[in-house]
Amino acid sequence: MTAAGRVRPPARTAPGPESHPRRAFRRTAYVLAVTAFAAAVPTPLYPVYAAQLHFSPAVLGLVFAAYAPGVLVTLIFLAPRAEHLGRNRLLALGMGLVVAASVVFALASNVGALALARVVSGLAVGTTTSVATAAMSDLEPDGDQHHVARVAVAANFGGVAVGVLGSGLLAQLAPSPLQLVYLLPVVAAVIGAVAIRTIPETATDLGTGTPWRAPAVRVPPGIRRTFWVAVGGIVACYAIYGLFGALVPSYVRIGLGIPSPAVAAAIVALMFGSAAATQLLTAQTRDRRALLLGFPGLLVSLVALVLLLRAEAIAPLLLVVAALGVSVGLTFMGSVTLVDRIALDAQRGGVFAGFYTAGYLALAIPTLAIAAASESIGLGTAAAVFGSLLAVVVAALYVETYRTPTPAGGGGRPGMRRS
């Protein structure tokens, strides 16, 4: 899940009848959503894999966390070459990696194969997300970078929600779900590959021989306080993403005693769907203001979630999950737009490299920790402890955000428009 606004010169390829900027913008957003969709498809199936392959929650956490290194490798070492290799070429590569990951998942017969499939899925996400967002920045008809950020985040969250829900329903109703379900991302990726052929190339240095250099993680002193507030927001969101993606399906199966993959998928999809809808319904709420609304929502929702995990009641759990999704949507958007506001164009690569590195570490490390703890204290207790600790962190982040004034902005992206 990444989004970063950037202003670039107009694309060198003039849009034709099939590549109108608005149409091309939407097709690029679709390609972005495909990678999130594909990465989410295995989520309801992890408890099924665990039962069939006889591995523990700790191993499940390791498999889920294998996604993060794949994202970071391509995000740092390949995505920066998009301006020279061609953005569309990398987007097409991302669609190919989605297909490859789906094939590995469908053929997986052991834990090692599952971990490899997660790594390849991460490679697809890292190859595609920042490149697609940069292309969307150029293709947005009105040059509204806040609209770009909102649509990019909504495409990520919405892709996860649809992927989880579609997978859960197929796993519940269709034969051979561990194979058949992976036709979904394959078909979506093929459609994405066809769509890419109609999108004008927006890379500005295509074919040049400029030497490659990975973006340095560098945050100028003048924006560090605000930067760390924003990092706290994305860390909280990705930690919750890890909790839901890796552990909620197992909790539904073990803690609530509901073996249905469709029920587990619906609960996860509710959280991500609420987050996606929030992006599209809060056009005027961003930066520090979104964080000041999102952090209290996260705090209340996490406390309620911890209490409900012990009560093992599903009906109130659904209300809390929906509220948590809204809070995640506000917090994530606030974090992204706050960083975009304070970073000068010359600093943007290094600032966002640090921002997203922190986010993906937050996805992997807490997931591993809670999965390992569940071995000794049980899944429900481990999730409750993790949620409690995260609630304390969120409370501290709210206090720091409240004490940090809204910055004037570096490159700040002022434009706003309808969704």
Model confidence pLDDT, tens digit, residues 33-47: 999 999 999 988 888
Q: Which of 158-162, 398-402, 408-412 has the lowest mean pLDDT?
A: 408-412
Cα–Cα nearest to 305, from 322, 293, 291, 330: 322
| Cα gap 4→145, rounded to integer Å | 9
Query: What confidence score (pLDDT) does residue 96 get?
Result: 97
Q: How far apart are CA 72 and CA 83, in angstroms?
A: 18
Residues 6+ apart with CB under 8 A from 225: 404
**What torsion do the CA atoms of 184, 68, 359, 342 make, to the nearest 10 degrees?**
-80
DSSP classification of residue 191: H
Give the orientation angle of helix 314-342 with respect to helix 261-281, to 10 degrees. 40
Q: Which two tokens stand for residue 94?
A: 């991302």
Is 286 strand, coil or helix?
coil
Please say if the pLDDT value at position 13 is more than 50: no
- Helix and strand element counts for the chain (H, E): 16, 0
Tell me: pLDDT of 20 over 80: no
Identity of the highest mean pLDDT range in 48-57, 250-259, 351-360, 364-373:
48-57
- Average pLDDT of the chain? 82
Query: Which of 196-200, 348-352, 406-410 has the highest mean predicted lDDT (pLDDT)?
Result: 196-200
Residues, the chain, total?
A: 419
pLDDT tens, position by position, 62-81: 888 888 889 888 888 887 77
- The tokens describing 387, both together, are 């949620």
What is d(CA 155, CA 3) in angstroms, rounded to the nearest whole number?
Answer: 10
Give the Å distances, CA to CA, from 104 to 35, 94, 112, 199, 411: 15, 15, 11, 29, 42
Mean pLDDT of 127-143: 85
Predicted confidence band at 53 (pLDDT cuts at 50, 70, 90)? confident
Name the fold adopted by 21-204+219-403: Growth Hormone; Chain: A; (1.20.1250)
State yes or no: pLDDT of 221 exceeds 80: no
To the nearest whole percent, how much of the chain has pLDDT over 70? 86
Q: What is the pLDDT of residues 307-335, one digit of tens each?
A: 887 777 788 889 999 999 999 999 998 88
| 315 burial level (CB within 10 Å; 0-12, 13-18, 19+) | exposed
Task: Give 59 or 245, the one with higher predicted confidence.
Answer: 59
Written as six digits, the tokens of 53 are: 């392959």
pLDDT at 3 over 60: no
Residue 135 pLDDT greater than 80, yes or no: yes
Highest mean pLDDT among 68-82, 120-134, 334-348: 120-134
pLDDT at 373: 80
How far apart CA 74 and CA 71 sit, in angstroms, is: 6
Better-scored residue on pLDDT, 44 or 121: 121
* Res 209: pLDDT: 60
What pTM was computed for the model?
A: 0.83
Q: What are the C-alpha distances in Å from 125 to residues 83, 156, 224, 320, 378?
A: 18, 10, 28, 29, 32
Please compute the mean of the pLDDT values over residues 102-107 and round it to a whole number: 96
Q: What is the pLDDT of residue 61?
A: 79
Check pLDDT > 70 for residue 414: no
- What was the pLDDT predicted at 349? 60
Closest C-alpha among 201, 200, 144 to residue 7: 144
Q: With contact defined as beta carbons under 8 Å apart, do 133 and 32 qualify?
A: yes
Residue 226, token pair as written in the block: 């605000």
Instruction: Residue 129: name the closest of 206, 42, 28 by CA.
Output: 28
Range in 45-59, 154-168, 230-244 the model is least confident about = 45-59
